[in-house]
Amino acid sequence: MKEQIQQKLSDSRVARWTALMIVSFTMMCGYFLTDVMSPLENLLTTKGKVVYFTDDTSISADSLISKVELFAAANALSSPELTVEKLEEGAELQYMETVDGQQQTVQKTISSVASGEGWSSTEYGFFSGAYGYINVFLLMLFFGGIILDKMGIRFTGIMSCGFMFAGALIKWYALSTDFGDTMLFGMNMQVILAALGFAIFGMGAEITGITVSKIIVKWFAGKELALALGLQVAMARIGTAIALGASLSVARMMGNVSYPVLFGAIALCIGFVSFLVYCVMDKKEDASALAVRQEEGQSEEEGFRLADLKLIFCSKGFWLITLLCLMFYAGVFPFLKFATKLMIYKYDVPESFAGMIPALLPFGTILLTPVFGSLYDRIGRGATLMIIGSVMLTVVHVLFALPLMNYWWFAVVVMIVLGIAFSLVPSAMWPSVPKIIPMKQLGSAYAIIFYIQNIGLAMVPVLIGWVIDDFATLRDTSGAITGYNYSIPMTIFAVFGVCAVVISLMLRVDDAKKHYGLEEANMKK
Ligand SMILES: N[C@@H](Cc1c[nH]cn1)C(=O)NCC(=O)O
């Protein structure tokens, strides 16, 4: 009789790709919630109601009312006695507007009205950075990695999904509640509570992120690892793209910024259930791996010891990857938080389309990240891919900073280039970590990288929000905001790009010396 050879569940193609799809779906829901507020920056930073017209222009309700009344008075028309309540879908209004430097009478029809929250750019920056506050200041990501290596994938994943969901609910509650003028720490209570929710969500999202990375390495090591990591990132980017492309329309349709968050929380609930399904597969994988080890007479896998962290901390290659991650992602994710408003004020894109241009970036990466991942699996050249991506990031931000080519199509082209850069670096960076750090310490290694990365995700939006308020906001003599000059904020993003280029070059040199294998293919022939 032929002897049955024991196999691990992950040796089955169907099983490992199914596991990948399930956990990637959970991550996708998390990424949706991470960026769901980015297209709402203009709405959040406008006070009172915002009126959207059928020609895709928008204006604050107060400013519209005074324009309509001024027009009626100037033309001896009976006063329309317009109030905010009367501004509703379908209403037609006439007033004077400056078109190409000339005063013209315009007639517009309202398509929707949504409530602005009146936040300052500084408050928006504080809120956007909150994603990383608990991770960084309470060292939760660092502990999250240790919990992952000590307590295992199932416990950590369920815990972190729970945090994501709880944080999303708090954020939704804050945005759907009117706190009046209640202030806390010099900021509106709504901003503080929404930031708290986002901080708890961010802790959950990051710990889920390292858990999912470890899951993929567990199922795909020695197989299609970079492709699998690339596909997971690609699915996550679908979440980002939907958030950037659809969030404003949902807020406009429902009349309030809280609804996109509510939809995200519902999606996350489904993502949580899908992670529970994965846990069943994970248990079976562990049982089959144990049976293989027993059959082959191998001893129990050695557990994680705190002392093992020394190996991580002493690796120069690890620190270079970590710093590259900090600089590269500081130039991308925080940029996305401000990109929609950049499109409105620098490239004159109507607000209803403005989110579509940043949404091109994750859409491009959906295809390209797995393509570059598969390239890395088969051909190698990981360090080179990271250098090229970092150079592209720098060029893109320099182009955004320069006061030239302020055409929407140019913004589209530049955003596509950024999409390529944003595919190149992650598809090479994440699969490079297991080449430097062994599996046993991988949870902690990813956690430390994410920890340092989160310092950028937490601080850069705060910095940019403050810079926009103090150095980029253009005002008329009465102090009213007339526009924004994005040169300084975009120069700051370009500096992160330059740092990423220098670090990726150093990584390439270090790889040549220490032979991590970053330039070699991942797949064993
Ligand atoms: N640590 C995450 C950061 C993040 C930001 N938004 C959602 N997650 C990360 O780096 N993920 C890998 C990636 O390339 O998205």
| Residue-wise DSSP of 71-131 | HHHHTTPPP----GGG--TT-EEEEEEEETTEEEEEEEEEEEEEE-----HHHHHHHHHGG
Q: What is the pLDDT of residue 1?
A: 45
The amino acid at residue 88 is E
CA of 118 to the centre of ligand 1 (A): 29
Question: 72 and 81 in contact (C-beta within 8 Å)?
Answer: no
Q: Determine whether the shortest distance from the Cβ of 453 to ligand 1 is under 6 A.
A: yes
Q: What is the DSSP string of 464-475?
A: HHHHIIIIIEEE
Structure tokens given for 405:
């080519």
- 3-state helix, strand, coil split of the chain in percent (to 5) is 70, 10, 20
Question: 67 and 96 in contact (C-beta within 8 Å)?
Answer: yes
Q: Determine whether the shortest distance from the Cβ of 328 to ligand 1 is under 6 A.
A: no
Q: What is the pLDDT of residue 294?
A: 84
Q: Determine whether the shortest distance from the Cβ of 362 to ligand 1 is under 6 A.
A: no
CA of 454 to the centre of ligand 1 (A): 9
pLDDT in tens, 195-254: 999 999 999 999 999 999 999 999 998 888 888 998 999 999 999 999 999 999 999 999
Nearest to 337 by CA among 170, 251, 462: 462
Residues 6+ apart with CB under 8 A from 212: 23, 24, 26, 27, 157, 232
- Distance CA(410)–CA(450), nearest Å, equals 33
Question: 324 and 450 in contact (C-beta within 8 Å)?
Answer: no
Q: What is the pLDDT of residue 174?
A: 97
Question: 201 and 172 in contact (C-beta within 8 Å)?
Answer: no
Query: C-alpha dihedral over 252, 257, 261, 262, to 10 degrees?
Result: -80
Q: What is the CA radius of gyration of the chain?
A: 25
Residue 9 backbone dihedrals phi, psi, to 5 degrees: -60, -35
Nearest to 131 by CA among 486, 450, 472: 450
Task: Output the residue whose Cα is nearest ligand 1's atom 13.
Answer: 233
Taken as a whole, the chain contains a residue count of: 525
Q: What is the pLDDT of residue 2?
A: 47
CA of 161 to the centre of ligand 1 (A): 15
Nearest to 36 by CA among 335, 243, 227: 243
Task: Output the residue whose Cα is nearest ligand 1's atom 8.
Answer: 31
Residue 108 belongs to what H/E stretch? strand 102-115
Q: Which stretches within 255-355 are classed as H helix?
A: 258-295, 309-313, 316-330, 333-345, 351-354
Q: Determine whether the shortest distance from the Cβ of 318 to ligand 1 is under 6 A.
A: no
* Relative orientation angle of helices 121-129 and 333-345, to the nearest 10 degrees: 150
- Distance CA(437)–CA(448), nearest Å, equals 12
Question: 160 and 211 in contact (C-beta within 8 Å)?
Answer: yes
Q: Determine whether the shortest distance from the Cβ of 236 to ligand 1 is under 6 A.
A: yes
- Distance CA(355)–CA(243), nearest Å, equals 9
CA of 348 to the centre of ligand 1 (A): 29
CA of 325 to the centre of ligand 1 (A): 10
Q: Determine whether the shortest distance from the Cβ of 198 to ligand 1 is under 6 A.
A: no
Q: Determine whether the shortest distance from the Cβ of 333 to ligand 1 is under 6 A.
A: yes
- Distance CA(365)–CA(260), nearest Å, equals 23
Q: Determine whether the shortest distance from the Cβ of 126 to ligand 1 is under 6 A.
A: no
Query: What residue ranges of the chain have pLDDT lower than 50?
Result: 1-2
- Distance CA(170)–CA(201), nearest Å, equals 9
Residue 183 backbone dihedrals phi, psi, to 5 degrees: -115, 150
Q: Which of 148, 160, 233, 333 to mutate to test the pocket of ligand 1 (most atoms within 8 A of CB)?
A: 333
Q: Determine whether the shortest distance from the Cβ of 209 to ligand 1 is under 6 A.
A: yes
Q: Which of 32, 141, 329 to mutate to test the pocket of ligand 1 (most atoms within 8 A of CB)?
A: 329
Strand partners, 475: 481
Q: Determine whether the shortest distance from the Cβ of 334 to ligand 1 is under 6 A.
A: no
How far is it between the farthest Cα atoms of the chain? 102
Task: Output the residue whose Cα is nearest ligand 1's atom 10.
Answer: 450
- Distance CA(208)–CA(215), nearest Å, equals 10
Question: 347 and 411 in contact (C-beta within 8 Å)?
Answer: yes
CA of 69 to the centre of ligand 1 (A): 49
Inter-CA distances, 497 with 333, 408, 501, Å: 13, 23, 6
Q: Which of 206, 235, 327 to mutate to test the pocket of ligand 1 (most atoms within 8 A of CB)?
A: 206
Q: Which atom of ligand 1 is nearest to the CA of 333?
A: 5
DSSP label at 101?
T
Task: Output the residue whose Cα is nearest ligand 1's atom 14.
Answer: 426
The dihedral built from the CA positions of residue 518, 520, 521 and 522, taken in this order, carries a sign that is: negative
CA of 81 to the centre of ligand 1 (A): 50
Cα-Cα end-to-end distance for the chain: 31
Q: Determine whether the shortest distance from the Cβ of 45 to ligand 1 is under 6 A.
A: no
Which domains are seen in the chain, by residue range?
A: 11-47+117-296+308-514 (1.20.1250.20), 49-115 (no CATH)
Q: Which atom of ligand 1 is nearest to the CA of 422?
A: 14
pLDDT in tens, 169-203: 999 999 999 998 888 888 999 999 999 999 999 99
CA of 375 to the centre of ligand 1 (A): 21
Q: Tokens 């609930």 label which residue?
A: 269
Q: What is the pLDDT of residue 302?
A: 60
- Distance CA(417)–CA(425), nearest Å, equals 13
Question: 465 and 489 in contact (C-beta within 8 Å)?
Answer: no
CA of 393 to the centre of ligand 1 (A): 16
Q: Determine whether the shortest distance from the Cβ of 451 to ligand 1 is under 6 A.
A: no
Q: What is the pLDDT of residue 3?
A: 52
